[in-house]
Amino acid sequence: MELSKLLIPGAVRLVGQFTSKKRLFQELGEIAAQAYGLSAAVAIDGLQERESLGPTGVGHGIALPHARLEDLNKIIGVFIRLEKPLDYDSVDRQPVDLVFGLFAPKDSGVDHLKALALVSRTMRDQAIVTKLRANADPSKLHAILTESRAPQAA
């Protein structure tokens, strides 16, 4: 599994700021709708439902909101870099500026977990995170996220 198969260039954005996590989820849903034809309302509801189980802010300014959805036939991703970090209730209490949203089919099982692990590994790579924070062009952000890397163990 590669990020280039999960994330298309049209699903990568730079956004100034959000006033709430709810507004961020609305934007993730709208981007998923525009880029992949997903229902924005279904995507937003899925993210909010998953978030109610526990925060998806993993620390170091990174959030990995995700949801399993009906009527989705493959795993897809949406990436947002925020110019002004958002208070997200992350595990380390730090605001978030890098958000990788992941949407998977309801019955994706282990593939959803593999995709989440791949995104998590990528976002833990300090060199990648530094490049993401240093770039404002969505096409460059996409290239940074999807450039080929040697596979690593989880």
Active-site residue, selected from the candidate residues 60, 66, 112, 142 = 66
Is 66 among the catalytic positions? Answer: yes
Q: Which two tokens stand for residue 74?
A: 């493959």
Nearest to 81 by CA among 137, 6, 7, 3: 137
Identity of the residue numbered 18: F
Residue 44 backbone dihedrals phi, psi, to 5 degrees: -65, -45
Contacts of 125 (CB under 8 A, 6+ apart): none
For residues 16 and 13, what is the distance between their CA atoms, to the nearest angstrom? 10
DSSP state letter for 63: E
> What positions carry a catalytic annotation?
66
